[in-house]
Amino acid sequence: MGWRPCSGCTHEFNLHRPNIVEEATNFFKSHGVSDFTFDSCRLWGWRCRAKLAIRGLSENPLIGLYEEGTHNVVDIPQCKAHHPNINAAVELLRKGIKELNIEPYDEDQGTGDLRYVQMAVTTYDTSLPASQRYRNGKVQVALVWNSRNEKSSNSEKLNDLANFLWRNGGPRSNPHLIHSVWANFQTSTNNIIFGNRWRHLLGERDFWEHVGGIDISLDPSSFGQANTRAFDNLLRKLHKYVPYGASVADLYAGAGVIGISLAANRKCRSVKCIEINKESRPSFQKTINRLPNSIEGSISWHNADTSINPVSWLVGSDVIVVDPPRKGLDSSLVDALRTISSHKPSLKSLSSNVKEEKRPWILREREQAKEGSVHVGRDKTVEDSQSLPEKLIYISCGWESFKECSKGASRKRNLERKRRNSCEEQSGMDLALNFESAVSVCQTLCKRVASYERVLVKDE
């Protein structure tokens, strides 16, 4: 695997019980959670989504990750963390680069054709027995091309490479490996992998997966969890912590998978998903279109920044779910969560204040959120709009930021805690980070053992 130069996997031994588990156990014990548990899930072949840099020469392409602390790409053929079909698709891509003389990107010169590739595995195939679906997953390939659009001078090479992948890995090949081929066009010199322009080239347009009791759609531009099985496990555990009929706000929602899963399985009165990336909207719409007609609650998606006037998203919800990027919660949201109970005596004045808001940046944000929103189901009731949250569930993919948020939220008060399973609940939301998040940290640590997302780029 190349443990030493490859910065992706930080542990080689004791993957079933890495050192960080002891730290987490002690952390939660200090907050009254004595029965914290750790679930390692699969230790190899678990990664179903990978973003890989492509450098080197056309006759010897390097497809892998940056060596830690550098922008030198380390080739990682047959990575043990990858789903086996990602490794197979990488080798097929390598062969295509060589045969078609595709020029890997030169970061110093800004030249070359192929910058990165994102590979995502879908295990959604109802024609196969459930036990065979994971190992027979198909790979969606997204080629990050060094040009402005499909009309650029090197577009013929792009089409040739896409056709090569489809011809040798599509439905007429054995095995059938490739689900679809997409192109993303990027000419920026910063560390952001993807540009804003996407193009579907070959194969199926829609990418489906079944997690948390629902079918979900994910476009290549949408954020998706790398560990599909662990995410499914997390969602199913999460369900039992949300009361039936609750009103839920899903912050940093992406395509709304968590919120929609709760709406479908807990018969939520209302679910509102808030996400800053507008590219997630089509995936949300496709997912809700597959929901059964028996879903009677309100489900909405809003293109908004949760750091701007976060109280407006908290009020009206019984349960808040946060799934922030690795940096953790925005400080304004932490402050809002910590002080939300102080709004209870003045809900009516809060409602009137919203109408009288005059700050232009707040008004612009609200208008943009309204224009970018999607809503299905019944309208929310007056009671919904006046209620305050009673529970927070924190799903973390960054252990250090989780601890910092916890310190920030509990700095002013140290309330009496009551334990529930390996989780902890705070009344009145005064301590923002209740330890129902222990459910997610089990999954977080599992992903961190062999995770390399933090290394490749800083685009999240």
User: Is the Cα torsion angle 215, 221, 223, 224 positive or negative in sign?
Assistant: positive
* Catalytic (active-site) positions: 397
Name the nearest CA neighbour of 295 among 242, 259, 250: 259
**Are 89 and 141 in contact, with CB atoms under 8 Å apart?**
yes
- Please name the residue ranges forming H helices in 340-376: 347-355, 360-371
Q: Where are the beta strands (DSSP E) in 263-318?
A: 270-275, 298-303
207 vs 121: CA distance, rounded Å: 9
Exposed/middle/buried for 83, CB within 10 Å: 0-12, 13-18, 19+?
buried
Name the nearest CA neighbour of 192 among 456, 452, 9: 456
H or E segment to which residue 202 belongs: strand 197-203
- Please name the residue ranges forming H helices in 59-117: 84-100
User: Is the Cα torsion angle 291, 130, 126, 82 positive or negative in sign?
Assistant: positive
- Please name the residue ranges forming H helices in 18-151: 19-30, 84-100, 130-133
- Partnered with residue 65 across adjacent β-strands are 74
> Would you list which residues are annotated within the binding site?
225, 252, 275, 323
Three-state SS letters, 233-256: HHHHHHHCCCCCCCEEEEECCCCC
Residues 6+ apart with CB under 8 A from 428: 341, 390, 415
**Are 160 and 168 in contact, with CB atoms under 8 Å apart?**
no
Angle between helix 331-339 and helix 399-410 axes, rounded to 10 deg = 40
144 vs 35: CA distance, rounded Å: 45
26 vs 20: CA distance, rounded Å: 10
> Would you list which residues are annotated within the binding site for S-adenosyl-L-methionine?
225, 252, 275, 323
